[in-house]
Chains A and B, each alone.
Chain A
Amino acid sequence: MDTSTSLRRRVSMAVQVFTSSIGFGRKGTVIWDSPEMIAMQVFLLPLFQISFFAVLAQYLDYSGSAVQYIVVGNALQAMSYSAVFAVANITSTDKWQGTLETLMVTPANRMALFVGRAVFQSGLSALIALGGLFYASELFGVSFAHADVVGVLLVVLVTSVTMMCFGLLISSVGLFLRTAMILANIFLFLTMLVSGVNFPLSTLPGWAQPVGYAIPMTYGTSAIRLAISGASLGGIGSLVADEVLVGAVAIMLGYLTMVGFERLARKTGRFEEY
């Protein structure tokens, strides 16, 4: 078999693994796989999160624009429950269910396997953000009159994908830990703190700001505010490009981490350590 045929075969198998993993990503995460759970995530999570911070800001007499800053930031950040928390737990779910070893002895391409499994959560996270933006418009008075709708949708889509990449990075570390839930919990809430969701990054201490720049959400919150205020695709282009770059770095780091930990776990026989 020549090199090009071999490569074509490997790509074809990776695509096959990827597409079948997309379906498994939904069916495999049985905890989330019911219409009422999905509806709760899309409709209730963003509503409660936005309400808490918006009412708090109103109580503290924040200006109208400051409240809207908080509302939009939380509308987008609410997607982290799915894009970060659920995605980060993918490897841990296999540990809980005792299927990780079986999965790891398959020759399936790891990138195709785990990205495929996370795609469902990425789509769900985009829906959660759209739900949040709907509440922002209908309940919290955020005006979309000048918004560049294509820009808004692009930011939601890019943020859901890049945050999924970030979630997979956490998940890959979780392969070696007893569970990724610990890290998932931290980063779920940390994005509220360091990603310009409730206050600008510049208000944080200098040492905390680089953490924010390493998370795709930070660029997403800035870009979506610009898109809502009417900035064109060109106006948000550099932020979206930065977000894609950070997401790409996260997924590559995640892949390398996963492969590295997989080798280590095979060598030390600690795959199922829990």
Chain B
Amino acid sequence: MVSRVQAVRAAARMTMKIFFADPQWIIPAIIAPFIFTLVALLLFRNETGPLLLYAVLGGGLMGMWGTTVYGSGTSITFDRFNGTMEATLAAPVPLMWIIGGRVAWNTFIGVINGGIILVIGTLWFRTGISIANPLAFTFATVVTYVSLSSFGLMLATVYVLTRQGGFIMNSLEVPVYIATGTMFPVALLPLATQPVAFILGPTWGIEAIRKAAIAGYTGLATSYWTDIGILAIETAAYFAISFYLFGRVERLAKRNGTLEEY
């Protein structure tokens, strides 16, 4: 168990070092999701009051998600580019823990990105940062961070098997923005697609964040703690699925011998 925790820490530290050693990657990791979010926020330019804070908070989550999905994709894809995929898989620690460390760092950068969007959004739109319950807001943000990490980890299993991870991660960005109600209530979506929203952690994360931040906010007919509870259950499910999938995928990749196929 200790070696696995060490592997997570070492992988996170390594990813951090690579990130700072090659800061150009800040652009696709942070600036690109930021520009997309800015376009969405500009559509709110004629709005005032709580709706603006609603949008800015949603923009923060979009930034977090954009960076997470990018990071989880690149966590494997860069191994392929650099020719280190086989060496990583041959390490005496299951792949899940190595990727887990990388995703944890990338999601942390996502939280920073969300924070930057929040600050710029509040300054640009002059909403003012008046968080109704700062403690609950911080707690919801931390739980959402863990949930996004687990979701990113689950996605990363797909990238072990395919060289098309980069494209898949780009394709997943906007659907999640839509399905999780980052910028508009999920009730506006077609009825058939709404169940998708409820199995995605970010839906409950942004609900809890908004309930903590906006006084009198009425989104889904759930309480703050119900949102947190569902988010925790879904996060546990993502970790369990990741655990199962990584085991399967690792075995499959070794058996087929197509890991470096590119």
- On A, residues with C-beta under 8 Å from B are 30-32, 34, 37, 40-41, 44-45, 48-49, 51-53, 55-60, 62, 81, 96, 177-179, 181-182, 185-186, 188-190, 192-193, 197-199, 203
Contacts and interface: CB of A to CB of B under 8 A. Distances in A.
The majority secondary structure among interface residues of chain B is helix
A177 B25 CA distance: 12
A60 to B, nearest CB: 6
A190 B46 CA distance: 21
B185 interface: yes
Contacts of A186: 27, 31-32, 35
A30 B174 contact: no
A102 B172 CA distance: 35
Given A55-B188, A190-B35, 17 more contacts: A34-B164, A37-B164, A48-B174, A51-B178, A52-B177, A52-B178, A52-B183, A55-B184, A56-B183, A56-B184, A60-B44, A178-B24, A185-B27, A185-B28, A185-B32, A189-B39, A198-B43
A193 to B, nearest CB: 5
Contacts of B175: 48
Nearest to A48: B174
B24 A179 contact: yes
Contacts of A44: 171
A101 to B, nearest CB: 17
Given A30-B163, A179-B24, A182-B27, A48 B178 contact: yes
Contact of A181 (B28, B44, B177, B178): B28
Contacts of A34: 164
Interface of B: 22, 24-25, 27-28, 31-32, 35-36, 38-40, 42-47, 81, 163-164, 166-167, 170-171, 174-175, 177-178, 183-185, 188-189, 262
Contacts of A193: 35, 38-39, 42
A253 B237 CA distance: 52
Contacts of B164: 31-32, 34, 37
Contacts of A51: 178
The majority secondary structure among interface residues of chain A is helix
B35 A56 contact: no
A192 to B, nearest CB: 5
B181 to A, nearest CB: 10
B184 A37 contact: no
A31 B166 contact: yes
Contact of B81 (A57, A59, A62, A96): A96
28 contacts: A30-B163, A31-B166, A32-B167, A37-B164, A37-B167, A55-B178, A58-B188, A59-B183, A60-B44, A60-B47, A96-B81, A177-B24, A178-B24, A179-B24, A182-B27, A182-B28, A186-B27, A186-B35, A188-B32, A189-B32, A189-B39, A190-B35, A192-B35, A192-B36, A193-B38, A193-B39, A197-B39, A199-B43
